[in-house]
Structure 1
Amino acid sequence: MSVEQAPFRSRTVFIIIAVAVVAFAGFLLLIAFAPQFKSGHDGRGHALSTSGNGYAGLVELTDAVGAHSLIVRDEGDLATRDLLIVTPEIDSDAKSLVKLLTARGDAPTLIVLPKWWTLPLPGRQDWSQRIEMICPCGGLYGLEKYAPKLLVEQTPFKAAPAAPGGTPRMAHAKVGRIDEQQRLTGSGFVPMLLDADGRVILAQLEHRPVYVLADPDLINNQGLADPWTARQGWRIIDDLATTNEIAFDLTLNGFGASKNAKHPLQSVFEPPFLPVTLIIVAAGFLAGLHGAIRFGAPAAAGRAIAMGKRTLVDNAAMLFRAARKEHRVGAAYASLTRDLTAQATHAPARLSGEALDQYLDRSGKAEGDPPYATLAWQAETAEDRDQLLSAARALYRWRRNRTR
């Protein structure tokens, strides 16, 4: 008799299960912390982007000159006292910017206005291709709440600038290799830096430590590629910074989330629910280990329906019991008892009916038993299970007294 072999070895099964568990755990982590795991190399304008309109170069420059960069992904970290550089995009939510400025309070905040409409370069998603300048029409990403008359002007400039006296100016009118320029106009702000023509590049909102940089090409990756522009751009950051740490906001660009709006799965991997998660994982590991180790030979599976006369009788009895018709078998049991008694006592074959009953009654060794006819009648007329059981016991006793 050959023993059937398992299709896989135990080591192979263990490796498959381990890989599946690790893959599933990684899948859950990616779902829960997807914003934190984003590389940011998507060709957009934020502190992680390495494209021309991104600001990853400014982050590296901050660390290179001896300062410290801080990437802010959680809204709970917006209350830092360091200078926070905010880079809204063309589709940024104005209400989110207002909420950010409210959370900042009186901490210094630099808002770098977007300038270019770009798309990721096909085949190089971390690069971007310039389409055209963004139309400066409409509200300025929520800044109209603080400076309703603040506007953006782009080349070609239509009106002559009103150069405030005593405001610093840049040495050149152009920014790096880019001819298209973007400046601030209107009112509700205090000019802090002008271009060579006297137009406002950098301004502070009135009565608030909020600074607005009109032209992002001063500090984005494309601008920092030019040495002169890099010096001018870093001078702006250095003048506005109050500490040795520069913070870069990513919440407005869709990275991270607030503690109240985070993914529900994050709670499973963070305190105070992290110990419960570890306990469940340990319990699952022990349950799997218990199921993987077999103690003794496996029990052979039996037949769904056993073979033999006894099984047939038991099944028939179950059917009678399920139908509640046990008392209807009394006559058959009485007839079977008489036939078995006649065989055991070697009754003459010519006898039948009442003659056989009288013969069997006389053959009893014990006196006092009722006649067979009476016992048979009691079995036939039984109305329930208890009456049938009493009559069957009497018939069995009658048969035993005549056959022993």
Structure 2
Amino acid sequence: MSAPGNTRAMLGVILIGFASFLGLLYLLGSGEGGNVSGRGGNHAASAGLDGYRAMRKLAERQGYGVTLARDREALGQAALTVLTPPLNADGEELDDLIDRRRRDGPTIVILPKWVGMPAGEKPGWIRPYVPAAPTWVADVDAFDGLELVESEEPRRGWRGFGLQGDFPRDGEVISMRGGHWRSLVRDGEGRRLVAILDDGSAPFDLFESGALDGAGYDDDPDEWPLMVISEPDLVNNWGFADPAEALLAMKLLDVMASETEERRIVFDITLNGLAAESNVLSLAFRPPFLAATLCLLLAAIALGWRGTARFGPALAEDREIAFGKSQLVANSAALVERTRRFHLLGAPYAALMRRKLARRLGIARRGADRELEHEIDLRLLRRGRGDAAFTGPAAALRGSDKPADILRAARALKDLERTLL
């Protein structure tokens, strides 16, 4: 039996290895641990000028529960969700996502603007190169009638929610016009920069604060509110260099989040190509494959326990075919019995006993077998063994073909040999 100390040490090694293996499987399946903030781009994990990491961090410090959505299932929550599609987004995919979000919870869509170039050696940092309005807006049904306007003229800053400020680049602003939208933030020329869909779903806080009049308010809307920000410099990392724009970003988040019961905000990064793709490993820990995975884990634990709790060393198994003369005789006997060739055993055994008795009686080998057998009978008679003879049992043995007769004759010859000294 193994010593108790050795058993505990082995069990500890197995448990540590098992826990490490499970941790590795989780990291591989979840995709955690990647530095998405160093990739750049217009998303909430980016630290570049066109990213929204500053807004995400500010929301966290204001007490919101903030999460980055790495899969589409996380976008089906009732919490406020911020979508930041890139310039090369799929319009049909975004249309389907916004349509589902109108039924799930409030949504803010921040339109892209900058085509950036890498700046310096720090990963994720960009230099805004040229502004560009997205062309997929026409593919989204919720944006029906909405038109984006690019301007290279100064806009004399922005105003909204009792705040005002300047743009990082005043001559490169994208505004919007048309459609069923109501302005919340305008530039100095009165053009929309932030708007909310005018279908009666606008949050009550906008009417209570006076940002909107009550003409379009519905106290029981069928869908959740949808807000669009056409000028991303109002809320991205570049714009957060101005405290007024940081205050504006928080007001927009607070207004939209007021429609939900929980103080949570979900920032989407799947549209930016940072989704955690499903693989075989992650599927193994999701229904319906989770049941089979748990069964395999329990079986592994049971095998490990049996391996450590075994009493004594493992027993060596016997050979299927043993070595030695006894096994050879047994195999030969089994072959004869299987083939039913018993009549072939008598003559060889009689010859074997003839040689043994001749050697025992000191008879030199000469003449035929019959003469040798006759000589054996004479020697036995001279020794006073007239009751014993070799010729009769030997002839009976050679003439027998039944197992009982063969054994009787063979036993007679063996007894004769054994009694000779």
Give the 3 Å change call, closer, same or farther, for CA 80–22 of structure 1 in structure 2: closer
CA contact (8 A) 1:171 1:196 kept: no
CA contact (8 A) 1:55 1:219 kept: yes
Counterpart check, 1:113 vs 2:134: no
CA contact (8 A) 1:92 1:141 kept: no
> 2:87 aligns to what SS in structure 1?
coil
CA distance in 2: counterparts of 1:319 and 1:368, whole angstroms = 29
Equivalence for 1:195 = 187
CA distance in 2: counterparts of 1:182 and 1:198, whole angstroms = 13
Counterpart check, 1:236 vs 2:252: yes
TM-score by length of 2: 0.68
> 2:66 aligns to what SS in structure 1?
strand
CA contact (8 A) 2:365 2:372 kept: no
1:264 is displaced (CA, Å) by 0.9
Give the 3 Å change call, closer, same or farther, for CA 91–154 of structure 1 in structure 2: same
Deviations 1:204-244 (A, max 9, x none): 33536211101212112221122232233333333433257
Give the 3 Å change call, closer, same or farther, for CA 138–325 of structure 1 in structure 2: farther
Equivalence for 1:245 = 263
CA contact (8 A) 1:169 1:196 kept: no
Give the 3 Å change call, closer, same or farther, for CA 178–299 of structure 1 in structure 2: farther
CA contact (8 A) 1:47 1:248 kept: no
Within-5 A mapping of 1:27-176: 27-34=24-31, 36-41=32-37, 42-73=39-70, 75-106=72-103, 107-118=105-116, 124-125=122-123, 127-130=124-127, 132-133=129-130, 135-136=132-133, 138-140=135-137, 142-143=139-140, 145-156=141-152, 171-172=164-165, 174-176=166-168
- What are the ranges of 5 or more consecutive residues in structure 2 without an aligned counterpart? 1-5, 202-224, 381-385
Equivalence for 2:229 = 213
Counterpart check, 1:24 vs 2:14: no
AA partner of residue 399 (structure 1) = L
TM-score by length of 1: 0.70
AA partner of residue 252 (structure 2) = I
CA RMSD of superposed structures (Å): 4.8
CA distance in 2: counterparts of 1:237 and 1:249, whole angstroms = 12
CA contact (8 A) 1:333 1:392 kept: no
Q: Which of the residues 308, 318, 340 maps onto 1:289?
A: 308
Equivalence for 1:334 = 350
Deviations 1:50-75 (A, max 9, x none): 33222221122123345553544564
AA partner of residue 376 (structure 1) = R
1:155 is displaced (CA, Å) by 3.3
CA contact (8 A) 1:74 1:259 kept: no
AA partner of residue 97 (structure 1) = L
AA partner of residue 413 (structure 2) = R
Equivalence for 2:411 = 397
Deviations 1:317-337 (A, max 9, x none): 499779969766654333212
Give the 3 Å change call, closer, same or farther, for CA 296–62 of structure 1 in structure 2: closer
CA contact (8 A) 1:72 1:247 kept: no
> 2:301 aligns to what SS in structure 1?
helix
1:28 is displaced (CA, Å) by 1.2
> 1:197 aligns to what SS in structure 2?
coil
CA contact (8 A) 2:82 2:108 kept: yes
Equivalence for 1:3 = none
Give the 3 Å change call, closer, same or farther, for CA 222–266 of structure 1 in structure 2: farther
CA distance in 1: counterparts of 2:131 and 2:330, whole angstroms = 87
- Percent pairwise identity: 22
CA distance in 2: counterparts of 1:128 and 1:226, whole angstroms = 19
> 1:54 aligns to what SS in structure 2?
coil
CA contact (8 A) 1:153 1:185 kept: yes
CA contact (8 A) 1:76 1:258 kept: no
CA distance in 1: counterparts of 2:128 and 2:318, whole angstroms = 73
CA distance in 2: counterparts of 1:236 and 1:52, whole angstroms = 20
Equivalence for 1:163 = none
1:338 is displaced (CA, Å) by 1.9
Structure 1 window deviating more from structure 2 (187-196 vs 131-140): it is: 131-140
CA distance in 2: counterparts of 1:269 and 1:235, whole angstroms = 43
CA contact (8 A) 2:180 2:197 kept: yes
Equivalence for 2:207 = none
Equivalence for 1:266 = 285
CA distance in 1: counterparts of 2:42 and 2:396, whole angstroms = 107
Deviations 1:247-287 (A, max 9, x none): 12324445566999993132389976786465345324314
Count of aligned pairs: 373
CA distance in 2: counterparts of 1:277 and 1:121, whole angstroms = 50
